[in-house]
Structure 1
Amino acid sequence: MTSQASLTAAAPLLRPSLALPLPLRFALRELRGGLRGFVVFLACIALGVAAIAAVGSVSRAMTDGLARQGQSILGGDIAFTLVQRQAAHDELRFLEHHGAVSEIASLRGMARLPDGSDQALVEIKAVDAAYPLYGTLKAAEDVDATAALNAGRALADPELFTRLGLKPGDEISIGATRLTLAGAIADEPDKLATGLGFGPRLLMSKTALEATGLVQPGSLVQWSYRLRLPHGAPDSAVTSLTDTANEDFPKAGWQIRSRDDASPGLKRNIGQFAQYLTLVGLAALIVGGVGVANAVGAFMEVKRPVIATLRSLGAPGRLITQIYLIQILLIALIGVAIGLAIGAMVPVIALRFLADVLPVGAQTGFYPGALAYAALYGLMTALTFALVPLGRAGDIAPTALFRDGAAYGKSRPRLAFLGLAILSAAVLAGLAVLLAYDRRIAIYFVVAVAGAFLLLRIVALVVTALARRAPRARSAEWRLAIGNIHRPGALTGSVVLSLGLGLTVLVTIALIDGNLHRQLTQSLPDRAPSFFFLDVQNSEAPAFIDFLKKEVPTGTVESVPMLRGRIIALNQTPADQVTPAPDVAWALKGDRGVTFSAEPPKNSRLVEGEWWPADYAGPPLVSMEAGVARGLGVKPGDTVTVNVLGREITATIANLREVAWESLAINFVMVFSPSTFAGAPYSVLATLSYPGGAEPAREAALMRDTGKEFPAVTAIRVREALDRISSILDQLMLAIRVASSIALAASVLVLAGALAAGHRQRLYDAVILKTLGATRRQLLYAFGLEYGLLGLATAIFAVLAGSLAAWGVVAGVMKQPFAVFPVTAIAAALIAVALTIGLGLAGTWRLLGQKAAPVLRNL
C-alpha cells in the first residue's frame, strides 16, 4: 500500500538539483490529508503553552499595573518610613524643602462598640490634611471622604461594619476617645503602601489619633512621609534625592522607597507566585511531551508503508527524516498558535472577573515577551520528545511493505538522534532555569522532573519484570491481563509514564495543602497562646499582667520588652551590599522586632556560643537565630549593626539559637543583652495561654474586659489570626490546585493517546481471541484487569513520589512537621485506576465489535 502523494512525487528523487526543496514539498503534500492522529499532540502542546502564556500575561499585567500606578500606590514620588519615632525637625525641613509632604501614621488598635459588648482588631491609618498626594480617596456612600476626615470622623473597610454590625453614623471607641464612622472606604489609593494587616482598615485624621492616646513612647507606630516632587521630575531626581538623604542623615534609620518600586513585597510575591504556576504549566507541557512522543511514534507506524515505498524508490534515510521532522514542527506550530491564542485571551477574561479582588489595578494588554516564552517552551518540548521516534523513520527498509505493521518490531533509535534529544532537553531545562524568577527553585524543579522520568521508567521495568515472573494464574482472564503487561509492544511504559507525572504533581500539591492547613487549624492552636497583647506600655505592664492573672488564674502569662529595629550592617558591611541566602533575605528587608533579656528565651536552645551572665553590663551583645545567622553568613564573634529609634547600635554576636517557631510562643531573631537599650522607651509584648484551650465565649469576654480596663492595649486572638491566614492560603492553594489540574488533564490526554496508539495491536488481539472462542465479557474483564493493575502501580508510585516531594517542601523548605494523609493516597489510587480502566475500556469496547474477516485477511 502506497500513498498517491508519494508515488506522484517519486520522480524528482532522481534529480539531485531539486534535493533541497524536496523535504518541505513532501511535508506539505502529506499534510493535505489533515491532522488525523495528532489531536492529542495538538491538545498537549496547546494546553501547556496556554497555561504558561496565561500565567505570564497575567503577571506582566499586574507588574505593569504596579509600574503605571507607582505614584498612587506609594502615595508620592518617594516615601521615607520610620518606626517608633517621628521625623526630627531637621529631617522634616529637609523633606519639605524638596516638595509637598504628607505624614501618615500606621498602627494596630482595637475598635470597640461604645457599650463594650464587642470589639475587633483594626489597622489604624492616621493621615494629615495633605493626604492623598496622588490618587483620590473615595467613600462608598455619598460622603466627601476628605471633608469627613477633616471634621474628625472616620472611614472604615466594609468588613468592620459587617463584623461589628455597624452602619454609617454609628460610633466606636478607639483608645480613650470615640469616633463617628462617616462611611465605608471605597477606594484607598495607597492601600498597598501602608500594608495589609490582620484586621480591617480604620482611617482617621492625625488629630483624631492624638485624641485616642494610643501613641506613647515605645508604641509600635510606623511613620511614613510621602514626598511629591515638582511636576515632571525625572527618575534621576528621585535617585539623587535618595542619595542626598542617605548622605545628609546617615543615622536616620529610615527606609526609602521610590515610585518605580512602590510595593516591592507585592512585586516579589507576584514574581514568585507566577514562577510556581509557570513551573506547574511547564510540568503539564512536559507531561504532554510524552503524548507528543506517543503520537509521533504512532504516526511513524501508520506511515511505514509510505516510508518503505519512498525507500524502495531510492529516497535516503536523511530525506525521510527531514520530511517528517518538518511535518512535526509544522503541527507543533499549529498547537503553539492555538495555545497562544487561548493564553492571550485568558488574562482578558480573568482580570475582568478578578478586578475587585486583585490588590492592584491590572490592565489587559498584549504581552509579546510572555507569549514568546510560552511559544519557545512549546516548540522545544515538541522537538525534544519527537526526536527519538523520528530517529527510527530513516531505518525503515523497503521490506516493510511485505510485513504486517503489528508484527514488525520497533528498531532502536540512532545514537545521533538520542544525543540530539538529550541536548534539546538540556536546552529546555536551561531555559526553565534562566527565565525563572528564583533559579534555585527552577533547578530543583528540573532535577525533580528528570528524576521522576527516570523513576517512572524504572517503575515500568519493575512492573514488566514482576508480570513476567508472576506465577501462572488459573483464570484465563488473569493470564491474559498479566501477559499483556510484559509482552513485546505492551502499553506498560506508556501508561505509567503518561499518568505518573501528572498524578505525582497532584498528590504533592494536595499533601502540601493538607499539611499547611493542619499546622494552621489543628496542631498550632492546641499548644499556641490564645492571645497576643501589643502596645502594653512599660509603666502599665505590671498592672496589666496582674489583671490577666486575676481574670485567668489558671492561665500562663508571659511578657517581654519589644522594640523595632532594622539591620543596617553586618561586620561593618552595609546591608544592601550583603548577599543573603534566598530563604533569609527577608531579615534584611524592613524592620524586625527585637528584645533584650538576661536569660535565654523559652522554646529555643543554644547551638553555638554561650549566653551572657545575668548581671552583664558590658558592650552590646546579641543572640541570633541560627538559621538566619547562617543564611546571612555571620557567626559568634561577628558584629551586627541595627538602627533602633534612630540610633545605630553595633553588637557582637555572642551565640546562636535554634527556635521552635511553630509553637507561636514569644521569640525573636535577635535578643540583645539588657544593658544595650538602657533608658530607651519600649512597649511590652505579652501572651496568654489557657490550659487546654479556651472557649470562644470566654475569649470574647476577656477581650471585652481588657478593652474596658486597658483601652490602649491591642489584643490579637490567635484563632482569628490563623483563620485569616487560612483564608488567604485557601485562595493561593485554589490557584495552585487549578494549575496542577492542568498537569493532570495533560496526563489524561497523554494516557488516551497512548491507549489509542495501541489500537491496532488490540484489534488483532481481540479478533484472534474471539475467533478462538473468547466472549466479549471475558475480553472486557481481561483488559479491565490489565488497565487496573497498571493504574494501581502508577498510583503507588505517585503516592510515594508525591509524598517525598511534599515532605521536601514542607519539612525541608518550610521547616514544618510533615504528615501523610491516607485519604489523599486512596483518592490518588482511585483516580489512577478509574482513569486507566475507564479510558482503556472506552477504546476497547469499540474494538470488540469489529468484524473478524477483514482483519484476518491481512495477517
Structure 2
Amino acid sequence: MKKDVTTHSRSGLRWPLKMAWRDGKASGKKLVLFMASIIIGIAAVVAIESFSNNIRDNVALQSKSLMGADFIIDSDKPISEEVQNIIDSLGGADAREIGFASMAAFPKAESTKLVRVRGLEKGFPFYGDLETTPATAAQSFQEQKGALVDATLMMQFNLKPGDPIKIGDITLPISGALNSVPGSSSLFSSIAPPVLIPFELIEKTGLIQTGSRIDYKYYFVAPPETDMEQLDKKLDPRLDAADADLDTHTSTSQRLGRRYENFGKFLNLIAFIALLLGCVGIASAINIYLKEKLKMVAILKCLGATRRQTFMIYLLQIAGMGLLGGVVGTGAGLLLQRLFPWLLSDLLPIEIAVTYSPGVIIMGVILGVVMSVLFALYPLIGTLYVSPLQALRVEEKSRRRSRTSAVLVSLAVFTFIFLFALWLLENVKYSLAFLAGLIVTFSILALLARLFMRAIKKYFPKGWSFTARQSLLNLFRPQNQTLTLVLAIGVGTFLISTLYFTKDMLLAQASLDAEAESPNLILLDVQQEQQEEVAATIRENELRVINNIPIVTMRVRSIKGRPVNEIREDSTSKVNGWILSHEFRVTYRDSLIASEILESGEWIPQFNSEGVVPVSISSDFAEDAKVTLGDNIIFNVQGMMLRTRVTSIRTVDWARMQMNFSLVFPKGVLEKAPQFRVLTTQVRDDAASAELQRDIVNQFPNVSIIDLRQVLKVIEDILGKIAWLINFMALFSILTGIIVLLGAVRTSKYQRLRESVLLRTIGARSSQILKITALEYFYLGALGSLAGVILSLVSSLLLAWLLFDSAFVPSLMPFLVLFPGITLLVLLIGLGNSIGVIKSPPLEVLRKESR
C-alpha cells in the first residue's frame, strides 16, 4: 500500500481524485442535505439575477410600446415660441396630448372620482396598443366623441359602454373600458385612474385654469436611423432652458430598468444571505465530517501519503459537491424565475418574456464551487496537522491550526462577500455597509449562542429533572449544532420580522396623519374667487375647513448670482438638475407647522419693507441647490423677478401626509401674485366623503379632490405586495435553516445512537429520550427565533430613529406568529428526524461500534 501511495504521488491529482471519489461514494449521504442548502441559496440568487436581466432586456425591447412613440417633448405649461420653433424644426409633432388630474362625475352611479384626464389626438399610440373592451372602442371613441374609462373604475361603479361621464363642463358617453395605455403610471393610476377623451374636447371642459397642473405632450415618430443619444444631447439643453423637457424611448427604458433592477438587487441580497446560511451549514457539516475522517487521514499518512495529498482528497470532494450543487441550484433557479412574472404582475408595467442568460448560468455554477470551497477551507486546514500517531489511538492533541492560514481564509471569505455585493450593488459604500451589517448580525447571533451555552454551563440547574438537565447538556455536547442552527434560524427570522416592523412603522406613521385633527380630504385648484364659496359648501356638509393654503407657482432664475442656464452648461456644477427645471408650488404664512423643525437661521413671519425678500428653504432644497444661510436666489414668479435671501433652513417630514413645501415665504410678499388655494377638511366616513365630493364637483368642476384615506389604502396595498415578495425571498433563509437543521440531525445521527444506548443502559425509557430530544430542539428553535426577533426589533428601532425620524410602535406579528411558529417548526423537524434514533435497538449500535 505504501508503494502504491508513493507511486501515485508522482501522478499529481490522479490519486487524490480517485480516493476522493471512492470515499465520497461511501460518505456522500452524510453531506447531501447540506448540499441541498447550497442548492437553495444558488437557486434564489440565479432566479432573481436571471429575472432582473429579463426585466432589463424586456424593458429595452418594449421601450417604444411603453412610451407609445420614439420621443416626447413635454412641458407643464403652454409651450414658448422657442419650443414651438424646435418642434417645427423636427417636422411638427405626430400627435399631441393635454393631460391633467380632475374630478369626474358618473351620474348613473351618483358618484365622483379623481381621474387623470388625457386628451389625445388621432394616431396615438404609434407603438403598442390601446387595449380596450370592446376592442373597437380604441378607435371609435375619437369618432363618437366619447371617453375610454379605466376598466377597474368601471367595475367599481358598475358602469357600461353608453353610460355618461361628466368632466368639467361637458358630458360624454363612455365608449368602452380602458385596460392599458402607454404612458400611464401604475401607482398614480391606482389613485387617479386614466380617462381618455379626444384632444379637441379638452378646451370645452373649462378645466384649464390658473394654477391647474396641466401637462402638454408632443409625440414624435423618428426615422429608423435616428441616434436617440445624439438627439438628447442636442435638444435637451435647449428645451431645459425653455422650461420643457425631452424624453426618448431609450432614456425612459433605462430609467425604468434601473428602478426595477435596484429592487432586484435588494432581493438578490436576501437570496445571497440564504446562500451564506447554507455555507455556514456546509462549514459545520465539514467540521463534523472531517472529525470522523481524522483516523483515515492518519492511516493514509502512515502509508506514505503527504499532507498535500490528504488535503486534496477532501478539497476535491467539497469542490465536487459544490459543482453538483451549483449545477442543480442553477437549474432550479431557472425554473423558479418563471414564478416571478406572476408574483410581480401587479408591479410591472410590461409583460415579461422569460429567457435564459448564459452569464447567469455560468455564475451559478461557479458560485456553487467557490462558496463551498471557501467555507470548507477552515475545517479542511485541520487535516494538514493530523499526526500519523492518531492511527494507533494514541491520545495526542493535534497541533493547532496555523493562525496565519485562519486569518487568510477569513479575509478570503470577507473579500468574496464584498466583491459579490459590489457586483450586485455597483456601489462601494453600500457594499461595505452590507458586509458590515452582515458581520454585525452574524456576530451578534453567534455571541448570543455562545453566551447561552456558557450560561448553561455556569448556572446549570442541578435541581431540574433528569430529562430537563440532559436536554440542556445536549446543547453544548461534542459536535453540537447550537451555533449553526441559531445562525440559520436567527437570520431567517431577522429578515422577515424586520420587514414586518418596518412596514407597520411606515403605515402607522401615515395613519397618524389621518387621526384626530389631521385633514384627510384635500381640495386642489380652488381659484382665488372661489375660496369663500367652496368653504361655505364644506361647512354646509357639517364639516369644518382645517386649512386654507395659498399656492403660488415660480421657477428658479439664478442661484448666488449665476443664471440657471449658465449652471446647466457647467459640467462641474453640483446643483441637482431638478432645482433648475422644476416649477415650485410655494406658500406664505407666519408660522411653522407640525411637520417642520427650524434647523438654522431666523424664522421671519412678516415682511413689510422693500428690498431683498427673506425666504425659508427646506434642508433638501438647500442640499440639492448647494445654498446656505445668506445666499441669494432670484425666482421667476410668472414673469416677475423676485430677489430673495435665505434666512432660515427647515427640516421637513415629507412622510407626513399633509401639505409640505420646499419654499415658504413670510406674509406681506406674495399676496398680490397670481395664485390658487388648497383647502383641507376631515371627513368621518366614506358616505360623508362621497356627499361632499358630489356637491363640490357639481358646483366647482375645476376643483380636484384627493381622499387621503384612499391614498393610504393604495400605499398599504403596494407595501403588502412588496412585503409578500420579500417574505417569499426571506422564506429561502428559513428553508435553508430548516435544511441545515435536518443536516445537523443527520450528520450527528450516529452519535445520537450511541447516546441513546448509553441512556437506555442506565435505565432511561424511550419516552424520556423523546422528551430530551423535544426540549433540546425547543430550546434551539426558541433561542434562534427569539434572537432574530429581538435583533430585528433593535434594527427597526434604529431605522425609525436614524432614517425615518419617527416614533416606533412594534408590530405584534413577529412575537405572536413568527416566534412561536418557527419554534414549533424546528421542534417538529427535530423530532421527526430523531424518531429513528430513539427507536433503534441498542444492539444495532454495538454492531456498528464493533465494525
Instruction: Kindly provide the CA deviation profile for residues 185-239 of structure 1, in whole angstroms up to 9, marking residues without a partner as x.
Output: 2341333599646121101122222111111122111222222222321235423
Which residue is equivalent to 1:340? 330
Structure 1 counterpart of 2:450: 461
Match of 1:124 in 2: 117
Q: Is the alpha carbon distance of 1:511 and 1:374 closer, same or farther for their aligned partners in structure 2, counting shifts above 3 Å?
A: farther
Quote the offset at 1:647 in angstroms: 8.5
Which of 35, 47, 55 aligns to 2:28? It is 35
Does 2:142 correspond to 1:149?
yes
| 1:228 match | 221
The CA deviation string for residues 85-124 of structure 1, in whole angstroms up to 9 with x for no partner, is: 1112342232132144132222111111236821111111
State how far apart, in whole Å, the 2-side matches of 1:16 and 1:443 are.
44
Partners of 1:348 and 1:99 in 2: how far apart? 44
Q: Is residue 238 from structure 1 mapped to residue 231 from structure 2 by the alignment?
A: yes
Letter in 2 for 1:708: N
**Which amino acid in 2 is paired with 1:252?**
A
Letter of the 1:121 partner, please give it.
L
Cα pair distance change 1:497/1:193, threshold 3 Å? closer
The answer on whether the counterparts of 1:80 and 1:256 sit within 8 Å (CA) in structure 2 is: yes
Moved more, 376-385 or 408-417: 408-417
Given residue 451 of structure 2, which amino acid in structure 1 is its aligned partner?
A: V
Corresponding residue for 2:151?
Answer: 158
Aligned match of 2:68: 75
Q: 1:498 aligns with which of 464, 468, 488?
A: 488
- Residue number in structure 2 paired with 1:638: 631
Question: Which digits, 9 at most, give the CA deviation of each residue in 1:466-497, with x for residues without a partner?
Answer: 11122312411122122222344333223322
Q: How do residues 247-262 of structure 1 correspond to structure 2 at under 5 angstroms?
A: 247=238, 251-262=241-252
Partners of 1:151 and 1:481 in 2: CA distance: 80
Percent identical among aligned pairs is 24
Match for residue 434 of structure 2? 445
The answer to whether residue 597 in structure 2 is matched with residue 605 in structure 1 is: yes
| Aligned residue among 743, 761, 771 for 1:753 | 743
- Alignment deviations for residues 24-58 of structure 1 (CA, whole Å, 9 cap, x no partner): 34334444557322222221111111111111122
* Alignment CA distance shift 1:796-1:345 (3 Å): closer
Give runs of aligned pairs for residues 531-680 of structure 1, distance below 5 A. 531-552=521-542, 554-563=544-553, 572=562, 573-574=567-568, 591=582, 593-603=584-594, 604-612=596-604, 613-615=606-608, 617-627=610-620, 629-630=622-623, 633-639=626-632, 651-672=644-665
The alpha-carbon deviation at position 541 of structure 1 amounts to: 2.4
Are residue 98 (structure 1) and residue 90 (structure 2) matched?
Answer: yes
Change (3 A) 1:493 1:673: same
* In 2, Cα distance between equivalents of 1:566 and 1:194: 29
- Shift of residue 453 of structure 1? 1.6
CA distance in 2, matches of 1:832, 1:135: 48
Q: 1:206 to 1:302 in 2, by over 3 A?
A: same
Q: Which stretch shifts more, 324-333 or 838-847?
A: 838-847
When structure 1 is superposed on structure 2, of 795-804 and 249-258 the one drifting more is: 249-258
In structure 2, what residue type is equivalent to 1:755?
Answer: V
Residue 790 to residue 236, structure 1, CA distance change in 2 (3 Å)? closer
Structure 2 residue 414 is the aligned partner of structure 1 residue 426: yes
The one of 667, 679, 687 equivalent to 1:697 is: 687
- The 1:175–1:417 alpha-carbon spacing in structure 2 relative to 1, beyond 3 Å, is same
The reply to whether residue 86 of structure 1 matches residue 78 of structure 2 is: yes
Alignment of 1:163-178 (within 5 A): 163-178=156-171
| Paired AA for residue 432 in structure 2 | I
Cα distance, 1:17–1:408 mapped onto 2, change above 3 Å: closer
1:522-548 per-residue CA deviation (whole Å, 9 max, x = no partner) reads: 664455312011121233223323332
CA–CA distance in structure 1, aligned partners of residues 497 and 443 of structure 2: 19
Judge which range, 730-739 or 25-34, deviates more. Answer: 25-34
Residue 194 of structure 2 is aligned to residue 201 of structure 1: yes
Whole-Å separation in 1 of the counterparts to 2:382 and 2:503: 44
Q: Secondary structure at the match of 2:161?
A: coil
- Number of aligned residue pairs: give it: 840
Distance between the aligned counterparts of 2:831 and 2:640, measured in 1?
A: 75
User: Do residues 283 (structure 1) and 273 (structure 2) align?
Assistant: yes
* 1:794 counterpart residue number: 784
Per-residue deviation, 1:464: 1.2
1:331 paired with 2:321, answer: yes
Deviation at 1:643, TM superposition (A): 7.1
Q: Which of 12, 34, 37 is matched with 1:19 structurally?
A: 12
Shift of 1:591: 4.0
Contact 1:153 1:182 (C-alpha < 8 Å) held by counterparts: yes
CA deviation string 1:113-137 (max 9, x = no partner): 2368211111111112342233332
8 Å contact 1:78–1:238 — kept in the other structure? no
Deviations 1:836-857 (A, max 9, x none): 3222222322112222235346
TM-score after normalising by structure 2: 0.91
Preserved CA contact (<8 Å) 1:561 1:595: yes
* 1:107 and 1:123 in contact (8 A); partners too: yes
Helix, strand or coil for the counterpart of 1:435?
Answer: helix
Residue type of the alignment partner of 1:825: F
2:286 is aligned, of 284, 296, 314, to: 296
On the 8 A contact 1:38/1:295 being kept in 2, the answer is yes
Gaps of 5+ in 1: 1-6
Aligned partner letter, 2:600: E
1:38–1:11 Cα change, 3 Å: same
Paired residue secondary structure (1:35): helix
Aligned to 2:716: 726
CA distance in 1, matches of 2:616, 2:347: 41
Question: How many angstroms apart in 2 are the aligned matches of 1:722 and 1:226?
Answer: 34
**SS of alignment partner, residue 230 of structure 1:** coil
* Distance (whole Å) between structure 2 residues aligned to residue 762 and residue 194 of structure 1: 56
In 2, Cα distance between the equivalents of 1:576 and 1:366?
Answer: 43
Kindly provide the amino acid, as one letter, of the partner of residue 796 in structure 1.
Answer: L
- For residues 390 and 412 of structure 2, the distance between their equivalents in structure 1, rounded to whole angstroms, comes to 30
Structure 2 distance, partners of 1:285, 1:433, is: 13
Paired amino acid for 1:475: S
Deviations, residues 793-822 of structure 1 (Å, cap 9, x unaligned): 223321211112223334433333321134
Residue 46 (1) aligns with residue 46 (2): no
3-state SS, counterpart of residue 500 of structure 1: helix
SS at match of 1:186: strand
Q: What is the aligned counterpart of 1:830 among 808, 811, 820?
A: 820
AA at the equivalent of 1:668: F
My pick for the range that moved more, 34-43 or 56-65, is: 34-43
Separation of aligned partners in 2, 1:132 and 1:234? 21
The answer to whether 1:489 aligns with 2:476 is no
- TM-score relative to the length of structure 1: 0.90
In 1, Cα distance between equivalents of 2:34 and 2:276: 12
* Higher mean C-alpha deviation, range 214-223 or range 611-620: 611-620
Alignment gaps of 5+ in structure 2: none
Q: Does the residue aligned with 1:162 lie in a helix, a strand or coil?
A: helix
Alpha carbons of structure 1 residues 327 and 630: separation in structure 2 relative to 1, 3 Å:
same
**C-alpha distance in structure 1 between counterparts of 2:572 and 2:188, whole Å:** 26
Per the alignment, residue 778 of structure 1 pairs with 768
| Structure-1 separation of matches of 2:580 and 2:846 | 75
Supply the AA of the counterpart residue of 2:46: A
Task: Evaluate the alpha carbon distance shift between residue 190 and residue 744 of structure 1 in structure 2; reply closer, same or farther with a 3 A threshold.
Answer: same
Residue 307 of structure 2 corresponds to: 317
Shift of 1:355: 5.7
Match of 2:755 among 762, 765, 785: 765
